[in-house]
Structure 1
Amino acid sequence: MWLSIPYAVLFVATFLSPNLSDQGKVIYAFTTYALLMLVYTGINIPYSALGGVMTKNITERASLQSYRMALAMAGGAVVVYTVPILVEYFGAGDDAAGYPLAIFVMALVAIACFFFCFISSEERVTHELDQGAGVNIAFVFKDFASLRHNSQLVLISFFTFLILVAVVMRGTVTAYYIKYFFGREDLINEFITWGMLAGIAGALTTSWLTKRYCKVLLLRLGMVSMIALHLPFLLLTGEDISYAFCLSIAANFPHMMVMALLFAMVPDTVEYGAQIATEKVNKMALAFSGHLLALKFGIAAGGSLALGCLAYFGYVANAEQSERALNGIMLTYVAGPVVCGFIVLMLLPKYVLSNEKMREIGGVVKSAN
């Protein structure tokens, strides 16, 4: 909760344009952004872990994550549409003056949301603490290293890494895909917005589905759907923008289902780890920190791969693209979800924490306590 205040300050500072030299501006931008991400991570780890300590019911956990993902997408949509309006209102044509004030408004809203989350949430699941650990940094590294022995957490983290690689590769080239491959730069915002709305619907549907079906089965179906709905993009021509719209909307639906399921599975892996560990200590926040680390690596790898692919195929910014570059943009858009999806499907049989297995583990953990 309290980190939301320095987060808001850094959020505004990141969008300021101080009167510095060019080198000074670069240093300022890197420094403020790095500090912003550091504080953001400090907020995000306990926030992510909160879903695992509000209830032990695996269905309720999935429901929490589905609503979380849906509202995150909705919040993103609000920001996308609201910030430009605020920038124009405050800046009157001067973006350098408008952005800090617009972000100041967003920062105040963020603080209010974080405080509301703190006040309205309650940890209902208590875990045994490692009395000898304290805040000793050596224990922190030891505990973090111990996560590698939890095979199910490692799998979920790797799945998340792959999914983020796929999503970021696709997201990085989406605007180029619409602008150059289809020649419809005017439809970029609509293309992205409808995909976000489909993602919201997919996340909300996850809550309903997990009450009736096993999360592992739903994850498998979600991955198959992602692959199947991206392959047809390979058959589209520059005249098929309407088909691309439909496929994008359909593909974003299972994508957000998969993300909600992966976050809902992390608490399951923590309970599994507590059962197999020599010390019966449940490390929910630590597990989520490892999971989020994999997510961040996925974002970085996805962005790097997308830019590398664009360079390899000869993309030139703000110029007419060669046929090779156009095909490269299309392949980059498709390759991430298809290739990463296949890898997840191949490894998914190694993930054994079905709903039935979790009911068994729940009984063992309850008896042990």
Structure 2
Amino acid sequence: MSASAISIKEKVGYGLGDTACNIVFQIVINFLLIFYTDVFGIGAAAAGTLLLVVRLFDGITDPIMGGIADRTDTKHGKYRPYLLWMALPYAVLGILAFNTPDAGVTLKLVYAYVTYTLLMTIYTAINIPYSALGGVMSKDSSERASIQSYRFALAMLGGALTVYLLPKLVNYFGNGDESVGYPIAMMVFGIAAIICFALSFVYTKERVVESNTESQPMKLTSIFKDGADLRKNSQWVIIAAITFFLLTAVAMRGSVTGYYIEYFFDEKERFGQFLSLGMLSGVAGALSANFLRKLFCKVAIFKWAIIATIFLHLGFLPLSKDDYSIALFLSMAANFAHMLVTAILFSMVPDTVEYGKSALKTVGNRMAMSFAGHLLALKFGIALGGAAAGWSLAYVGYVANAQQTESTLNGIVWIYSGGPIFFGIIIVLLLRSYFLTNSEMTKYSTDN
């Protein structure tokens, strides 16, 4: 093992942190909209607006959390402690967000806004330091790509188990009443998340230490200046834009997957299977990034995986209601490509930080702030994608728990597949301006 190499044990330990994060992420992406419309009892348009409005609040919390994490100084490091500090609130709010109060529609909507906002705030407080941790475990760009490969393999494995088990646990604990089953199921997942966060804390180590951390005051003006400085880094801006468009597509598709399986194919019982098999394919995609990075430039891998995703989603459009198996195959292939893209994407953020420090002479530690901005773009993409899905469902005439018209079913298909096609093309165009290839990064790595 080379001096810069990180052990598999530590990479797996780091990945367990995203196993925990992915419990909320995957449930929000794949179940929250249909939970709000079909269980909680609010309209699709109102639910879509909720998903957008709450995410706008992240525009305040994300940069603040990034600045705070960059300025944290404990004996356990800057970022690792948050895995312990925020684990319990994360689990508790996951339960509350999927609780259905016995109240009228207005009070329910208020409750949904409050609990979803608090859940996303705690998610920010744990996920930004966790993401930054992956950037300070090694100075080597290629090794960081390997770390992210393990991260997203474990994330998808946890996601696959979550989406497979959630419907079964909801049915088991609720005995047919999903409003009872959801919070109890979330309690089970919350306990699992706490354990994963604790293991991630124990098995990881921060190695990249900035010598001028003390020069960064814990003031809002200083924190927001760090955030404003990010826009001077053209490569970071491109990665943030790519992330926004990528997650807009993912959220649009994920939010309507339940509707696609239940109403278009009339296969509600296979919803968990459809999601979990797709995520297991994503595990293979994330792990393949670790292998392919040794053979090809990760920017080239990223581009061709996006192109593959576009063509795979074109394949959904001509399918009939009898083609569930073909849809499952296409979904698994698309998730393989998507997780290959995601593992590489998150390894590109530290590359933009190295570029900023070396080429642009950025001062101070910007790792958490860079990830905060990156995750803010990710969350805004999720917000827009989720909102667009809700609004689009209302536009095509979706009626909860009812037989859908042919035009509504066709609309659901287009919502499911159209986002990845349209936004995938935009991403390919954006990549033409990104130049931090493997060979280019040798100029900026501080490990040389």
TM-score, normalised with respect to structure 2: 0.75
Question: Structure 2 matches for 1:112-191, cutoff 5 A?
Answer: 112-191=195-274
Query: Which residue of 2 is the match for residue 238 of structure 1?
Result: 321
The reply on whether 1:37 has 2:115 as its aligned counterpart is: no
Change (3 A) 1:103 1:238: closer
Give the Cα separation in 1 of the matches to 2:338 and 2:210: 32
Query: Which residue of 2 is the match for residue 251 of structure 1?
Result: 334
Query: Which residue of 1 is the match for residue 440 of structure 2?
Result: 357
For residue 263 of structure 1, report the CA deviation from its aligned partner.
0.5
* Percent identity for Structure 1 against Structure 2: 51
Give the Cα separation in 2 of the matches to 1:139 and 1:42: 19
Counterpart AA for 2:186:
I
The reply on whether 1:205 has 2:277 as its aligned counterpart is: no
In angstroms, what is the RMSD of aligned CA positions? 2.4
| Cα pair 2:164 2:272 within 8 Å, conserved | no
SS at match of 2:404: coil
Query: Which residue of 1 is the match for residue 352 of structure 2?
Result: 269
| Cα pair 1:152 1:269 within 8 Å, conserved | yes
Give the Cα separation in 2 of the matches to 1:23 and 1:309: 22
Change (3 A) 1:324 1:73: same
Give the Cα separation in 1 of the matches to 2:170 and 2:317: 39
For residue 116 of structure 1, report the CA deviation from its aligned partner.
1.5
Query: Which residue of 1 is the match for residue 18 of structure 2?
Result: none
Q: Which has the larger radius of gyration?
A: 1
For these two proteins, the number of residue pairs brought into alignment is 365
For residue 98 of structure 1, report the CA deviation from its aligned partner.
5.1
List per-residue Cα deviations over 1:307-337 (Å, max 9, x = no partner): 2322333333333333332222221122111
Give the Cα separation in 2 of the matches to 1:242 and 1:19: 40
Give the Cα separation in 1 of the matches to 2:428 and 2:123: 32
Change (3 A) 1:20 1:233: closer
| Cα pair 1:274 1:282 within 8 Å, conserved | no
The reply on whether 1:313 has 2:313 as its aligned counterpart is: no
Change (3 A) 1:61 1:181: same
Change (3 A) 1:338 1:102: closer
Query: Which residue of 1 is the match for residue 110 of structure 2?
Result: 27
Structure 1: gaps of 5 or more residues: none
Give the Cα separation in 1 of the matches to 2:395 and 2:115: 32
SS at match of 1:233: coil
Give the Cα separation in 2 of the matches to 1:45 and 1:270: 15
| Cα pair 1:62 1:207 within 8 Å, conserved | yes
Give the Cα separation in 2 of the matches to 1:69 and 1:206: 10
Give the Cα separation in 1 of the matches to 2:327 and 2:191: 38
Select between 35-44 and 5-14 the one with higher mean Cα deviation.
5-14
For residue 177 of structure 1, report the CA deviation from its aligned partner.
2.2
Give the Cα separation in 2 of the matches to 1:329 and 1:88: 25
Give the Cα separation in 2 of the matches to 1:9 and 1:245: 34
For residue 250 of structure 1, report the CA deviation from its aligned partner.
1.2
The reply on whether 1:323 has 2:406 as its aligned counterpart is: yes
Aligned pair partner of 1:73 in 151, 156, 174? 156
Structure 2: gaps of 5 or more residues: 1-83
TM-score, normalised with respect to structure 1: 0.90
Query: Which residue of 1 is the match for residue 63 of structure 2?
Result: none
Select between 317-326 and 303-312 the one with higher mean Cα deviation.
317-326
